[in-house]
Amino acid sequence: MSAPSPAREPEPRPRGMVRGLWLGLAVVFFLGAIPIALKAFHLDFVPSEAWVTRTSGFASTFCFGAAVLATILFAVDMVQRGERIGTPGAIGMILFIPVFFWFLGSALVMLGYPMIRAAWAGQPMTMVFEVERAKVGASARCRNRIELRGLPVLINEVCGLPAESIVPLAPGSSVTLGGYGTELGLFVQRIEGQAP
């Protein structure tokens, strides 16, 4: 009577796809966070309203879908390897990760690409925006702030402009911002004047 053959160890499943997805999300995180982080150094970049209008639907749909798909694949991979996610981890993956990476991916599409293009091939130019709100003083993070209509939150602010150029701005008025950039957006350096 022959001895039973020893049980074979399960072969490790290839994880290249999951690792590739998370590497991609890490790149999106890094590149998407740069334009937002630059605001801490008072380097204001605003994309053109036309660019935001043209790309916002794609950015929202594609980035959110990619983040949800990557989260699902990562969760399935953990379950198949026998790792426990736990309730807080599951809630974090379902709610936090897709929204977080959607925001950063959208920032990369709507802000990162125009910023890179402006840094590479920009020239002196002006753009006209409509004012949502103008406030002198405000916070230490963003003094003498103008919020612009038609742009998403966090990328719609211009900070550090002279108080005398902000005081006359009323909601709904137009303002001409001057700086360095392309038709997709510009690094704001000054207020050229109020458009009629």
pLDDT 10s digits, 50-68: 888 888 777 777 777 777 7
pLDDT greater than 50 at residue 11 = no
pLDDT of amino acid 128? 92
Asked if residues 141 and 157 have their Cβ atoms less than 8 Å apart, the reply is no
pLDDT greater than 60 at residue 14 = no
Q: Round the average pLDDT of the chain to a whole number and report it.
A: 76
Distance CA 173, CA 166 (A): 11
Distance CA 196, CA 73 (A): 53
Most confident of 57-66, 162-171, 172-181: 172-181
Residue with tokens 């160890």: 9
pLDDT greater than 60 at residue 2 = no
* CB within 8 Å of 24: residues ≥ 6 apart: 66, 70
Q: What is the three-class DSSP state of 116?
A: helix
The DSSP result for 29-70, as a single string, is HHHHHHHHHGGGGT--EEE-HHHHHHHHHHHHHHHHHHHHHH
pLDDT of amino acid 180? 92
Per-residue pLDDT averaged across 17-43, rounded? 70
pLDDT of amino acid 164? 81
Quote the percentage of the chain above a pLDDT of 90.
9
| Domain range summary for the chain, segments of one domain joined by + | 16-43+50-120, 122-193
